[in-house]
Amino acid sequence: MPHVLVLNASYEPLGVVPLRRALVLVLENKAVALEESGAYMHSATVTVSAPSVVRLKRFVRVPYRGPVPLTRRALFARDGGRCMYCGGVATSVDHVIPRSRGGQHVWDNVVASCRRCNHVKADRHLFEIGWRLRHKPAPPTGLAWRIIGTGHRDPRWLPYLQPYGADDALARIDGISA
């Protein structure tokens, strides 16, 4: 089932929900459709246009949600789908400080990597092999990253996500199938 981007009344991206859930929000008058997908949903009695973006009518206060969840998809988006050692096409996730040597699975210690670099580096520190990172890894910031991390995407969402911190990643993400 397609997914729908949900915006707060303030237009901040809140999350992604299945189409059925978004339709319920609209039919219960809790949200309005801002963009339509072009598809139609039929029931016994009504036909409604399927939304691709909805905006809540009432502002929802969102508690602080902590760092952007570290997912493979979000990581590949952060690193542009490129190996952070050689710049080749990334296919795997590498721990800069190897897990076997105390490295943690956190944004500051993971990078997208090609299979070859990951294999060559194995469980060594960078200084041991004289490698350098192309960029220092850091947690991504911005609400749009929570949407990217879900793995759902729709070109109609872009104008609503671009103001929220993921401009570069969004531009690159279509080439990424991680």
Binding site for Zn ion (CB under 5 A): 83, 85-86, 88, 114, 117
Q: Closest separation between CB of residue 84 and Zn ion, Å?
A: 8
Q: Which two tokens stand for residue 77?
A: 């988006």
Please answer whether residues 79 and 111 qualify as being in contact, where contact means their C-beta atoms are separated by less than 8 angstroms: yes
Q: 21 vs 115, which CB is nearer to Zn ion?
A: 115
Least separation, in Å, of the C-beta of 166 and Zn ion? 24
- Amino acid of residue 110: V
Residue 85, CA distances (Å) to 22, 97, 128, 132, 135 in order: 42, 14, 14, 7, 9
Nearer to Zn ion, 17 or 83 (CB): 83
Q: Are strands 110-113 and 92-95 parallel, antiparallel or unpaired?
A: antiparallel
Least gap, CB of 132 to Zn ion (angstroms)? 12
Q: How far apart are CA 96 and CA 18, in angstroms?
A: 36
Q: How far is the CB of 21 from Zn ion (least distance, A)?
A: 40
CB-nearer residue toward Zn ion: 86 or 158: 86
